[in-house]
Amino acid sequence: MSNKTKVFAGILAASAAFFVGLEKYEGYSSKPYKDSGGVPTIGIGSTVYESGQKVKMTDKPITKERAVEISKAHVSKDEVKFRKSLEGVKLSQVEYDVYLDFAYNFGMGNWQSSSMLRQLKAGQHIQACQSLLKWKFVAKKDCSVRSNNCWGVWVRQLDRRDKCIGAQ
């Protein structure tokens, strides 16, 4: 399947490229840390464990293998809701991975109420790609301003948008 071939989202799943990108942007930390929004995070950007228990700053360090398990479980759980939200929508694998990455990063609630999802359901793929750039705020800080200490969030959004546009 080419990067531009669109199929019903319900038959897609996170690709290997999705997980490579996830680790590229989230990085790996064996110890809990606070993300740019001040949320306790561990491993590969995980804020919760498989059980749904939130990460605490007092949690013990984890191995990279454990971090991968946690992130795969999180993605797998979110993917069920993600696919359901896209019922009847055709996407390319690249688009699927981009929007799933957004949902992992910003949360399923934000994805489900986003203009991106509404635009995709209306067949407005390019507009949906551009709407990724609306999501540049973390903890009321504009991450497109380098000095706000969340520049990586903005760079990730630009990368998502560029990949998405390239898949059109």
CATH of 7-166, one of 1.10.530.40, 3.30.420.40, 3.90.226.10, 3.30.420.10: 1.10.530.40
Indicate the residue type of 90: K
Give pLDDT tens digits along the chain (168 positions).
567 899 999 999 999 999 999 999 999 999 999 998 899 999 999 999 999 999 999 999 999 999 999 999 999 999 999 999 999 999 999 999 999 999 999 999 999 999 999 999 999 999 999 999 999 999 999 999 999 999 999 999 999 999 999 999
List the chain domain ranges.
Answer: 7-166
Residue 93 CA: distances (Å) to CA of 6, 148, 153, 163, 166: 8, 33, 22, 11, 12
Q: Kindly report whether the global pTM for this prediction surpasses the value 0.85.
A: yes
CA distance 30 to 86: 34
Number of C-beta neighbours around residue 44 at 10 A: 23
